[in-house]
Amino acid sequence: MKFDLKRNDRRAFLVLVLVLAIYVFFAEVALPVYDGLAIAADSALEKEDQLRRYRRAVIRRADYGQLLEEARRRMEAGEGRLIRGDNASLASAELQTIVEGVAEVTGVVLGPRNMSTARKKDEFFNEITMTLGFDCTPGQLVGFLTQLRASDKLIAVRSLRVSPHEAVDGVALGVGLSKDVTVNLTVAAVLASATVAPPDEG
């Protein structure tokens, strides 16, 4: 059987064959090659990032010893600011000595004091508190708190209540009003050793 294709039909047939060949080329050759190159590029970037991190770790390895030594020094310096907790009586005495020293420097006359037993602050540290009261001027109170904060040991003010030493309505006319205030506060110190203190239920 003989096909007699006209010129236009022959041209259309050749274009169709060419388009089909181009489609097969891209579907079977070009696109798989492109996908393979994209995967290889991603893998290369990942390997490059891993190599960069490895080199950074190798460079910093020499610094690890210095970092550990610096961390040890800072830990020792921090522990030096804590009151020793291996003996509760000595810890209470040390806190009381610090507060009395601050009072002496600022000219404050302390009233009765109440020391608590050591209580567990967390899994590493205990805490003791001291509640005290005194009368002083506002300037003395500021100095007392400033000196307490500047202490070598880590001491925090847990509560503070300040009230006038004399009620305003109780002062007679013509009599000067006292500028003194009555202070009640609780200070706390962290102990360096969390020994057998019971858990804090408060």
- CATH code for the domain in which residue 152 is found: 3.30.70.60
Query: How much is the pLDDT for 130?
Result: 92
Residue with tokens 């080199």: 55
Checking if the pLDDT of 58 tops 90, the result is no
The 10s digit of each residue's pLDDT in 93-145 is 888 999 999 999 999 999 898 988 888 877 777 888 899 999 988 888 899 99
Same-domain status, 173 and 117: yes
Determine the pLDDT at residue 38. 64
Give the residue-averaged pLDDT of 23-34. Answer: 67
The two tokens of residue 7 are: 């010129």
Strands (E), 101-180: 109-115, 119-120, 126-136, 155-164
Tell which residue, 80, 96, 92, has the closest CA to residue 192. 80
- Give the number of domains in the chain: 2
The whole-chain average pLDDT of the chain stands at 75
Residue 67 belongs to a domain: yes
pLDDT tens for 1-13 read 444 556 666 677 7
Domain identity same for 69 and 154? no
Structural domain for 146, as ranges: 88-191
**3-state SS assignment for residue 153:** coil
Residues 125 and 181 in one domain: yes
Last residue of a domain, one of 80, 106, 122: 80
pLDDT at residue 6, rounded to an integer: 63
Q: Where is 181: in which H helix or E strand?
A: strand 181-191
**Is the same domain home to 119 and 148?**
yes
* 92 and 64 in a common domain: no
- Choose one of 55, 80, 105: the last residue of a domain: 80
